[in-house]
């Protein structure tokens, strides 16, 4: 369960480069919000501020009415999936998925339960002992998703998670992520520059331009506007 409130969120890099300006957005529990817009419009910056990986210059971020600005990244109940997977090459699939839980001092039994459950959902059970180099692109992306799922976080942030996959796999993983969301119902912000992804995946779509909201609504509302 998580509601997010982004209030007048602003990011200024190097004292005068405004990347995000007075960005306001209320995200309701279970929503799948997609940020779409050209490269450089501020999508990743907003995601990183929500994740706590980037300081907020002005404005406020609330999760379930709690102000998060000064809460460190590791204390936010958020799991993030990146474009380049960021898997550890020397670890097996199991160890990659277990790593974040180990860091958070979960018991071995709990780690095994969660990793096996996520592996079952994602079809990764046969690959648990393999290293990332021995996996296909789609399987690696599933491991990256698995690492987020095992955290059992209240918020998912996904930054162009499919953009390094080929077109066919992208379409397949798109529907896998949609069914994952209908199953887990985790509040999600998904960043892409791909309009088809935005249109097919979003419950609500935010079109960004120069760090501000240009359009917002359901995919139908946004794409049918003149």
Applying CB under 6 A, among 1, 13, 24, 175 the residue interacting with ligand ADP is: 13
- Region near ligand ADP per CB under 6 A, out of 12-20, 71-79, 80-88, 145-153: 12-20
Distance CA 34, CA 20 (A): 16
C-beta atoms surrounding 3 within 10 Å: 17
Applying CB under 6 A, among 8, 40, 55, 220 the residue interacting with ligand ADP is: 40
Residues in region 127-156 near ligand ADP by CB under 6 A: 128-129
Q: Which is nearer to ligand ADP, 32 or 94 (CB)?
A: 94
CB-based burial label for 118 (10 Å; 0-12, 13-18, 19+): buried
Applying CB under 6 A, among 23, 42, 189, 197 the residue interacting with ligand ADP is: 42
SS3 32: strand
Q: Which residues pair with 9 in a beta bridge?
A: 23
Nearest to 10 by CA among 60, 68, 62, 58: 58
Q: Does position 194 bind ligand ADP by CB under 6 A?
A: no
Residues in region 83-112 near ligand ADP by CB under 6 A: 92, 94-95, 112
Q: Does position 126 bind ligand ADP by CB under 6 A?
A: no
**CA distance from start to end of the chain:** 35
Q: Which is nearer to ligand ADP, 8 or 209 (CB)?
A: 209
Contacts of residue 198, defined as CB under 8 A and 6 or more positions apart, other chains included, come to 34, 36, 192, 205, 219
Which positions touch ligand ADP (CB under 6 A)?
13-14, 17, 19, 37, 39-45, 92, 94-95, 112, 116, 128-129
């Amino acid at each position: 369960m998580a509601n997010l409130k982004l209030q007048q969120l602003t990011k200024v890099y190097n004292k005068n480069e405004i990347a995000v300006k007075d960005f306001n957005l209320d995200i309701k529990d279970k929503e799948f919000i997609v940020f779409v817009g050209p490269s450089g419009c501020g999508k990743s910056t907003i995601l990183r501020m929500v994740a706590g990986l980037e300081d907020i210059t002005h404005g406020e971020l609330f999760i379930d009415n709690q102000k998060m600005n000064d809460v460190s990244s590791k204390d936010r109940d958020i799991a993030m999936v990146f474009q380049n997977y960021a898997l550890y090459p020397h670890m097996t699939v199991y160890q990659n998925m277990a790593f974040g839980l180990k860091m958070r001092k979960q018991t071995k039994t709990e780690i095994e339960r969660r990793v096996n459950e996520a592996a079952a959902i994602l079809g990764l059970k046969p690959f648990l002992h393999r290293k990332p180099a021995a996996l296909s692109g789609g399987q690696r992306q599933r491991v990256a998703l698995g690492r987020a799922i095992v955290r059992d976080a209240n918020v998912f942030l996904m930054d162009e998670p499919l953009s390094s996959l080929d077109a066919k796999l992208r379409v397949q993983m798109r529907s896998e992520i949609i069914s994952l969301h209908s199953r887990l119902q985790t509040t999600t912000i998904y960043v892409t520059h791909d309009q088809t992804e935005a249109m097919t995946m979003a419950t609500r779509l935010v079109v960004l331009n120069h760090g501000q909201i240009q359009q917002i609504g359901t995919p139908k509302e946004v794409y049918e506007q003149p």
